[in-house]
Amino acid sequence: MFKAVAKDARLLRDSVDIISQLIDDGLFNITKSGIELETADRTMVSFIDFKMKASSFENYECDKDASIGINLLNLLTVLKRANLNDKLTLFLNEKDSALEITLEGSSVRRFSIPLLQISKSETPDIEQLLKKFSADAEVSSAIIEQGINDADIIADSVIIELSPDKLRMFAEGNSSKSELKIFKGTDTLTKLNAKETVNARYSLDYLKKMIKGSKLFDKVNIMLGKDFPLRMVFENDDIFLGMILAPRVSESE
């Protein structure tokens, strides 16, 4: 049996909103420690690693591990029906092969979302990948969002660069340029580990979706390597949301 109760739906709703920007369907793993999702998008350009801890719920019951396929848009549509003070209950109805969602406030509303048959997708070996990143930084998510939006009016991709003293974002197109620099030791760049300068180019279409995590988290951890995938991690006591984005094919700068 699986049943989880949260005081409000916002934490799960906002997390699903971010994830649904990148994937349509997800195979969630329900364990005693929480709800997890590891999946790549259809194009294999991005990868999501999501964990919502059991302790983030007011009550959490799971007597055995289960994997459930869910359409993210269907789930998000229901979660958006929650009012501010509604209590959220998730219940796995194995008999009907459905996830039941109850919203309880001034009224009691129940929804049922059918489970999907989803096979486990191929996912990168995170532990091996982590060993290959050569630089990382903890930075204000709002500033990174600003840099992404600045670059978006110039081009369809942006170079993200970490060096020993700063983080830099640079875009160029049609004789126009944008550049953002954040220097080590400032309030907006709280951690920076880079022995040398590393950079790569990334799609702004994907970055605009990934940075939506800024509405839940003030800080984001960025990991880079030379012409290597970007890892973006949002994390607090309740949620871990990691995203990996493949680099864009090099263009003349």
Res 226: pLDDT: 86
| Rounded distance between C-alpha atoms, residue 47 and residue 187, angstroms | 29
End-to-end CA distance of the chain: 56
Mean pLDDT of 237-250: 89
Domain boundaries, the chain: 2-114, 126-245
Answer whether residue 251 shows pLDDT above 60: no
Name the average pLDDT for the chain: 92
Amino acid symbol at 58: E
195 closest CA partner among 226, 227, 162, 164: 164
Q: What is the CATH number of domain 126-245?
A: 3.10.150.10
| Rounded distance between C-alpha atoms, residue 189 and residue 183, angstroms | 7
Amino acid symbol at 139: V
Nearest 10 degrees: Cα torsion 114, 21, 48, 76 = -30
List Cβ neighbours of 196 (8 Å cut-off, separation of 6 or more): 134, 135, 163, 164
Tell me the per-residue pLDDT of 40-85, one tens digit each, with 9 for 90 and over.
887 788 899 999 999 999 999 999 999 999 999 999 999 999 998 8
CA 131 from centre of chain: 21
Q: What is the CATH number of domain 2-114?
A: 3.70.10.10
List Cβ neighbours of 238 (8 Å cut-off, separation of 6 or more): 11, 52, 53, 55, 56
